[in-house]
Amino acid sequence: MSELEARARAVLCDSYARLPVTLERGDGVWVFTDSGERLLDAVGGIAVNVLGHGNTRLVEAVAAQARAMIHASNLYYTRPQVELAERLVATAFPSRVFFSNSGAEANEAAIKIARKWGHLRKDGATEIVTLSGAFHGRTLGALAATGSARYSQFFQPLPGGFQQVPRGDLAALEAALGDTTAAVMLEPVQGESGVFALPLDHLRAIRDLCDRHHCLLVVDEIQSGMGRTGRMWAHQWAGVTPDIMTVAKGLAGGLPIGATLVGARADVLEPGDHGSTFGGNPLACAAGIAVLDTISEQNLVANAATVGDRLRAGIAALEDAGRPILEVRGLGLMLGVGLRRPIARAVATAALQGGLLLNPIGQRTLRLLPALTLGAAEADLVVERLDRALLAVAAR
Ligand SMILES: Cc1ncc(COP(=O)(O)O)c(C=O)c1O
């Protein structure tokens, strides 16, 4: 155990199963450990570092805003918050924005808005229907939406008013929708449960069901958004328009932020309904503006699609070469590698030793969420290092 790890164990709660490495700085898609080792980062801070590490424009935007004003509160207007909202809405659908500080908070806002909408527009309907395998965050409301005992078994009672149906079972979804349903909430590509994209025809069918049963469609794009799947928002692959969309993770390139976009039909918030001290503060919003402008000017959404295809093909070739890979799932640079054997943690540890950061989910999936700036040669190197890690574990 390193000296820092021992100190961490003394003062930090045991809420994370961390890998035994200390990261000190980053440069593009590379990170450096405290012993100077250079690692290729295919995790990207779990889909947060969309511009990679140390992006000059982002760093300068944050530094300039920090000099001007870090925080002001939502008692007043600040220019970065308005400008970020304008840019965000321009990438999505006609809507207005509530800013918060994290994904869970963005979803809490969505849940509150859906409930208020149900109270006002649907005779007090408050129920929210979610899909099995969902992950919507760890606050109590978001945990209730997540609906998995794995995350919530010791935290009962959770708020009521949530119902979950099997992902992929449209008949079960339709049967669950009724007079008490305020909204259906889903991730277009589920991330935490192992990277599962909803079929596009399902997404379209769910939009139709929401219309027919007079309820809102809330899409959680916290992990799948920001260009990662090869479209700015993953639901855009299906050509559907949600009523509410939640965003976080990569929006400010590493600064904490959450955003809930609310279409006109669902736009029911009034002063006093909801709030956040830090939500949409000038520092995070200045970072968000730099991120959105860079994504647009450098065509990073298209890059995520092409480099994502290359990465996927490279990993699929490892499968063909007999490595214990079952399938490669996901879209663009949001990839899950399903393994034939329960070796995900062992492979991630071997990859770390071989200079590659990968994220194991359970024991049968490796997740890759690299920066959208990943180049072709870097993608090939990810494949090469993944191959070495798979071979190292197979040889044991
Ligand atoms: C789809 C999705 N929703 C919500 C969250 C929660 O976000 P946060 O950890 O910022 O609260 C996550 C985090 O992984 C996520 O992937």
Can 135 be counted among the known catalytic residues?
yes
| 69-297: CATH class | alpha beta
Cβ atoms of 113 and 260 within 8 Å: the answer is yes
Write down the domain spans for the chain: 3-54+301-394, 69-297
Phi-psi category of 52—alpha, beta or left, where left has phi over 0 and alpha has psi -120 to 50? Answer: left
Question: Is residue 223 in contact with ligand 1, taking CB distance under 6 Å?
Answer: yes
273 is catalytic: no
Please tell me the CATH superfamily of domain 3-54+301-394, with its number.
Aspartate Aminotransferase, domain 1 (3.90.1150.10)
Nearest CA to ligand 1 atom 7: 103
Q: What angle do CA 207, 209, 215 make, to 5 degrees?
A: 85
- Which DSSP symbol is given to 163? E
* Measured distance CA(164)–CA(245) in Å, rounded: 19
Q: Between vectors from CA 70 to CA 66 and to CA 74, what angle results, nearest 5°?
A: 155
Ligand 1 pocket member 225 (CB < 6 A): no
Provide the residue-wise pLDDT of the chain in tens; the chain has 396 residues: 899 999 999 999 999 999 999 999 999 999 999 999 999 999 999 999 999 999 999 999 999 999 999 999 999 999 999 999 999 999 999 999 999 999 999 999 999 999 999 999 999 999 999 999 999 999 999 999 999 988 999 999 999 999 999 999 999 999 999 999 999 999 999 999 999 999 999 999 999 999 999 999 999 999 999 999 999 999 999 999 999 999 999 999 999 999 999 999 999 999 999 999 999 999 999 999 999 999 999 999 999 999 999 999 999 999 999 999 999 999 999 999 999 999 999 999 999 999 999 999 999 999 999 999 999 999 999 999 999 999 999 888
CA of 80 to the centre of ligand 1 (A): 24
User: Taking the CB of residue 250, how many other CB atoms lie within 10 A of it?
Assistant: 28
Integer CA distances (angstroms), 5 to 8, 43, 181, 356, in order: 5, 21, 47, 20
CA distances from 151 to 5, 110, 156 (A): 25, 20, 11
Could you confirm whether 220 is annotated as catalytic? yes
d(CA 272, CA 100): 15
Q: Which of 136, 150, 219 to mutate to test the pocket of ligand 1 (most atoms within 8 A of CB)?
A: 136
Burial 315-331 (b: 16+ CB within 10 A, else e): beebbeeebebeebbbb
Tell me, what's the pLDDT at 396?
85
* pLDDT at residue 202 in the model: 98
Instruction: Indicate the burial class of 395 (C-beta count within 10 angstroms; 0-12, 13-18, 19 or more).
Output: exposed
Q: Are strands 216-220 and 181-186 parallel, antiparallel or unpaired?
A: parallel
In a 13 Å sphere around the CA of 315, the CA atoms on its Cβ side amount to: 27
C-beta 221 within 6 A of ligand 1: no
Q: What Cα–Cα distance (Å) separates residue 224 from each residue in 52, 109, 235, 333?
A: 17, 19, 9, 9
Exactly one of 41, 99, 122, 135 is catalytic; name it: 135
Strands 356-357 and 196-197: unpaired
Amino acid, res. 122: K
> What is the value of pTM for the model shown?
0.98
